[in-house]
Amino acid sequence: MAWIGVLTAIALLVVVALPLAFVVLQAVFPDLAAGSMTGAFKPVVDALDDDSLPGLLGNTLGLGLSVCAGSLALALPLAALRAFTRLPWAAFWDLLFLIPFMLPPYIGAFAWALTLQPNGYLAQATGLYGASLLFSRAGVAAVMVLHLFPVAYFAISRTLAALGPRQAEAARVCGAGPLRRALRVTLPMSLPAIAGSMLLVFALSIEEYGTPAALGKPIEFLVLVTSIEERLAEWPIDLPGAAVLSLVLLALAALAFLAQHRVATRRDYTSVTGKAAAPTPAPLGPWRLPALALFAATGLVAVVVPVGAVLATAFSETLSGGLAWSNMGLRHFRAVLAPDSGALQALGNSLMLACGAAVTTGVLGGLAAFVTVRRHAQGPAAGLLDALATLPNALPGMVVAVGMILAWNREAWGITVYNTPWILLLAYTCLLLPYPVRNVSASLRQISSGLDDAARVCGATPAMLLRRVVLPLVWPSLLVSMLMVFAIATRELVASVMLAPSGFDTVATYVFNQFIQGSPGTGMALSVFAIFSSTALLIALYTGARRRGSIAV
Amino acid sequence: MKSLSRRSILSLAGTSATMLALPVARATPAAVTVYTAGPAGLARQLASGFQKRTGMEVKLFQATTGQVMARLAAEKANPQADVLISASWDTAVDLAAQGELLAHTSPNATQVPAPLKHSHYVAQGAAALAIVWNPKSGKPRPQDWSDLATPEYRNLVTMPDPATSGSAYGLLSGLLASDAYGWPFFERLKANGLVIAGANAQALNPVMQGAKAAVFGAVDYISLGAQAQGEQIEVIYPRSGTVLEARPAMILKSARQVEGARQFIDYLLTDEAQGLVATTYMLPARQDIAARRPGWKDVPLLPEQSGGPSRAETLARFKATMGSRG
């Protein structure tokens, strides 16, 4: 078993620790990029001495915590309904809630602005507008909740479903009422999944750039990540300052990680012990309509409104023409489909990279979760592996990109992935690894290690154990997290811009370019292609996976 | 004397043209690596035009000026770029002062006005900063910068952030140096509810949709392009003058393909490449190439300034002036 641990550790060191180490070195040695070690620690002192830092920290923490609270409030009821009841069209809702992921945050925020600002789409349709609601701290947090809540929804619903009904049944036999069963049995048993997904949401919300930049900047609501991006995008470039602030961000995520770790390991959460217990979702009865209404309302606000704004912009000949039949047309789609536009090639690149990222993170993340949860790595080593596989989540994409350049753009390597598309795969793997790790760890904590022992007694090799016992049990969690990785990788922008080899475009870099050159409509048209083609691919993967295994995914 | 120098320049241009016309002589088709800000379409066309002429491949990295600069900074240990085209003149001035550039005087630069060339860099093109106004806003057509500080434009004006947009910074320092404006004018704008948006597009989009009425200091070529696509906006050059922001092209000292880089800069100033620049509604750097927009003589300019406070000081004061919300 040890060799699996060693291999996983080596892979994590190369994918995560190496670029991270260069970010740390850059923070300490300001002239590292030029190969000099002089002036050590000056940037650390300078950045930490800045009087704007406390304000930035406060804003960042406040935003992260409110996005967590909002996501949990929205996701918990949905996840419980999805897990415990015979919800109609369950697969449809799952797919629908993956769509917010596929919308890049800056496009989502822009779509909301186009909808809610004065003379926006809502005002054109109904005369109402809500700019002051949107351009506010609460507005920034709400828009982020709407595209991050699926992280919590998927993690919690899968874990709750895997819990099975036995413990709750036992509590019922002992006389506990429904409320008491939920609060004393089901909720505590699902704590690892809740804590794990809150950690992801927290890390994602303090790392996200698009929404705070688009909606927060006009009201001077600045967070750490906007300040990091300013240091990297404003002449003169301040690499060391950006690296120091990234480490502050990382420290925040590490605190969240420790809190999560305490919750997840404090008790034994085993519920899957090998005794057959088919999950028996309860019929909804009279609650069918209200439950469906809740799902539909969430889908409307989180998916239909922003995607509708994207569609409206893509099909409008001009933005100033507004919502009018005479202004509808296919100009932007023609621009995207023009043979020399390179847009479809960018789409192909993105889809291929996203598939690659889903597979590599799935394999590596699944193994990392198995090794740490099953203690095939001991003591601090296990903690370190777990942390390595989680922390990249809080690193802004731009900083991971800089770390990758510093690490891989060296003549000493001889042959390097830098300046080839492989570096993008490496960057996506680093950034997105936490999804499978968190989801699979949470489900592994529910699966008794007695099953592993039983397999071993029966003479299973480690590979057989993984393939025949562990994989089928964690497959629902693993698959859903791989789908999330796919969705996010199709639209990753910041690292892609910095690392794309010459002449290589992805959807996100192409769309962003259209935006900065003042043709949002053309950018939106390619986004439409991207959203629909990745959704189609997801449906194919999802139905394929459901058919193959007899497991409820 | 004058005719002699002109003749020598002509002969130089002739020689370089012959060199450009003989790609066959090259044993191994080397590749020039170009990092460029600005429109992606233009960058691609220039790359393929250059390859047709010289047989040399162009490896292109195209992004915003900030992203290009960040990639250059991160690659310092093992530099990749040969040629850099930035959207902000300051970057060239600073890089030259730091000794990061190679000197190159292109024989094709004779028609480029003197302020737009230097021993180490030369403009590819330029854009002016303008007021972009939405005629459907129902507000009077602004004639000058100060009209946007009037009560009619209360809460209806956006401005690109001078910290992110090099050209907006050029306008800021130009207006600060002018007696008619200075800091009190920006305080009035702030009191009138001016919103600082991120980049140019972020300032322009709300005006196109009609959420705001005007952009204070938009880069004109993007708006002229949007207008050509049918957007109902108007680009207005204020009476009291504005600034031109030139886009410098330069060869990095760390270049590996020095010869190819020189040829690329020369190519940028050919009729063909300057014509491509004109199609983006930018002002071509060469005055003898027809622009598809108001040209050098049609845009009133603010008086030239020299010296003044540093960029960091100006931006810090700008942040303080425009930041505190009442």
ipTM: 0.83
CB nearest A218 (choices: B90, B195, B225): B195
Give the amino acid at A388: L
φ, ψ of residue A391 to 5 degrees: the values are -65, -30
CA distances to A13, A133, A456, B71, B118 from A368, in Å: 12, 42, 20, 32, 56
Closest CA to B43 of A513, A351, A309, A96: A513
CA distances to A77, A83, A163, A276, B229 from A172, in Å: 21, 18, 15, 19, 68
Note the pLDDT of residue B17: 45
Structural domain boundaries, residue B82: 32-125+246-284
Interface test with A, best of B68, B69, B209, B322 (most A CBs within 10 A): B209
CB nearest B201 (choices: A236, A317, A518): A518
Residue A125's SS3 state is helix
Q: How many domains is chain A built from?
A: 1
Closest CA to B154 of B171, B137, B167, B178: B137
Q: Cβ of A120 and B211 within 8 Å? A: yes
Length, in residues, of chain A: 553
Residues B221 and B136 grouped into a single domain: yes
d(CA B201, CA B199): 6
Q: Chains A and B: how many Cβ contacts under 8 Å?
A: 156
Please indicate, yes or no, if residue A201 is contained in any of the structural domains: yes
CB nearest B77 (choices: A35, A319, A517): A35
Residues of chain B found within 8 Å of residue A236, distances taken between Cβ atoms: 69, 94
Confidence of residue B232 (pLDDT cuts 50, 70, 90): very high
Question: How buried is A78 (Cβ within 10 angstroms: 0-12 exposed, 13-18 middle, 19+ buried)?
Answer: buried
Residues B166 and B310 grouped into a single domain: yes
Q: What is the mean pLDDT of residues B45-71?
A: 91
Residues of chain B found within 8 Å of residue A517, distances taken between Cβ atoms: 39-40, 201, 222, 225
CB nearest A34 (choices: B66, B76, B166): B76
Note the pLDDT of residue B310: 84
- Name the residue with tokens 């299973």: A460
Q: Cβ of A518 and B225 within 8 Å? A: yes
Please indicate, yes or no, if residue A143 is contained in any of the structural domains: yes
- What residues form DSSP beta bridges with B218? B130
Structural domain boundaries, residue A156: 62-83+97-235+249-266
Residues B316 and B206 grouped into a single domain: yes
Confidence of residue B106 (pLDDT cuts 50, 70, 90): very high
Q: Cβ of A402 and B198 within 8 Å? A: no
With a threshold of 0.90, does the pTM exceed it?
A: no
Residues of chain B found within 8 Å of residue A227, distances taken between Cβ atoms: none
pLDDT at B12 over 50: no
Please indicate, yes or no, if residue B11 is contained in any of the structural domains: no
Please indicate, yes or no, if residue B49 is contained in any of the structural domains: yes
Q: Cβ of B229 and A114 within 8 Å? A: no
Q: Cβ of B211 and A502 within 8 Å? A: no
Please indicate, yes or no, if residue B292 is contained in any of the structural domains: no
Note the pLDDT of residue B15: 44
Q: Cβ of A513 and B230 within 8 Å? A: no
At A159, which CATH number? 1.10.3720.10
Residues of chain A found within 8 Å of residue B198, distances taken between Cβ atoms: 213-214, 217
Q: Cβ of B40 and A405 within 8 Å? A: no
Cβ atoms of residues B189 and B148 within 8 Å: yes
Note the pLDDT of residue A379: 67
Residues B80 and B227 grouped into a single domain: no
Q: Cβ of A317 and B163 within 8 Å? A: no
Nearest C-alpha in B relative to A341: B41
d(CA A548, CA A551): 9
CB nearest B40 (choices: A237, A411, A513): A513
Q: Cβ of B77 and A233 within 8 Å? A: no
Please indicate, yes or no, if residue B184 is contained in any of the structural domains: yes
Residues of chain B found within 8 Å of residue A113, distances taken between Cβ atoms: 205-206, 211
Cβ atoms of residues B30 and B82 within 8 Å: no
CB nearest A516 (choices: B59, B60, B199): B199
Note the pLDDT of residue A64: 95
Residues B217 and B160 grouped into a single domain: yes
Measure in Å the smallest separation between the Cα of B2 and chain A Cα atoms. Answer: 40
At B273, which CATH number? 3.40.190.10
Structure tokens at A88: 């109609």
Please indicate, yes or no, if residue B257 is contained in any of the structural domains: yes
Least confident of A489-498, B21-30, B56-65, B160-169: B21-30
Please indicate, yes or no, if residue B177 is contained in any of the structural domains: yes
H helices of B55-145, where?
65-74, 89-97
Nearest C-alpha in A relative to B91: A235
Residues of chain B found within 8 Å of residue A320, distances taken between Cβ atoms: 134, 136, 208-210, 231-233
Instruction: Decide which of A357 and B199 is more confident.
Output: A357
Length, in residues, of chain B: 326
pLDDT in tens, chain A (553 residues): 677 788 888 898 899 899 989 988 888 888 777 777 777 777 787 777 777 889 999 999 999 999 999 999 999 999 989 988 889 998 899 989 988 888 888 889 999 999 999 989 999 988 888 888 899 999 999 999 998 999 899 888 888 877 766 777 777 788 877 777 777 777 887 888 888 889 889 988 988 888 998 898 888 898 998 888 888 888 788 888 888 888 888 888 888 888 887 887 776 777 666 665 656 677 888 889 999 999 999 999 999 999 999 999 999 999 998 898 999 999 999 988 988 788 889 999 999 999 999 999 999 999 888 888 876 656 677 778 888 887 777 777 877 888 888 889 887 787 788 888 999 999 999 999 988 988 888 888 888 888 888 888 888 887 888 888 888 888 888 888 898 899 889 888 878 888 888 878 899 888 888 888 878 898 999 999 888 888 888 888 777 766 654 344 3
Note the pLDDT of residue A277: 60
Note the pLDDT of residue A136: 92
Note the pLDDT of residue A180: 77
Interface test with A, best of B78, B154, B252 (most A CBs within 10 A): B78
Cβ atoms of residues A109 and A214 within 8 Å: yes
CB nearest B231 (choices: A32, A320, A342): A320
Instruction: Decide which of A72 and B201 is more confident.
Output: A72
Please indicate, yes or no, if residue B3 is contained in any of the structural domains: no
Question: How buried is A178 (Cβ within 10 angstroms: 0-12 exposed, 13-18 middle, 19+ buried)?
Answer: exposed
Please indicate, yes or no, if residue B236 is contained in any of the structural domains: yes
Note the pLDDT of residue B326: 33
pLDDT at B18 over 50: no
Q: Cβ of A237 and B70 within 8 Å? A: yes
Nearest C-alpha in B relative to A123: B211
Interface test with B, best of A313, A416, A502 (most B CBs within 10 A): A502
Please indicate, yes or no, if residue A121 is contained in any of the structural domains: yes
Nearest C-alpha in A relative to B34: A502
Q: How many domains is chain B built from?
A: 2
- Name the residue with tokens 């972009």: B132
Residues B274 and B157 grouped into a single domain: no
Note the pLDDT of residue A278: 59
Please indicate, yes or no, if residue A327 is contained in any of the structural domains: no
In sequence order, what are the residues at sequence separation of 6 or more whose Cβ sits closer than 8 angstroms to the Cβ of residue A62?
A137
Note the pLDDT of residue B112: 94
d(CA A183, CA B31): 66
d(CA A167, CA A189): 9
Average pLDDT over chain B reads 87
Measure in Å the smallest separation between the Cα of B175 and chain A Cα atoms. Answer: 20
Residues of chain A found within 8 Å of residue B323, distances taken between Cβ atoms: 220
Confidence of residue B29 (pLDDT cuts 50, 70, 90): low
Residues B121 and B131 grouped into a single domain: no
Question: How buried is A95 (Cβ within 10 angstroms: 0-12 exposed, 13-18 middle, 19+ buried)?
Answer: middle
Cβ atoms of residues A349 and A505 within 8 Å: yes
Closest CA to A516 of B196, B65, B284: B65
Q: Cβ of B74 and A409 within 8 Å? A: yes
Residues of chain A found within 8 Å of residue B201, distances taken between Cβ atoms: 515-518, 520
d(CA A2, CA A363): 17
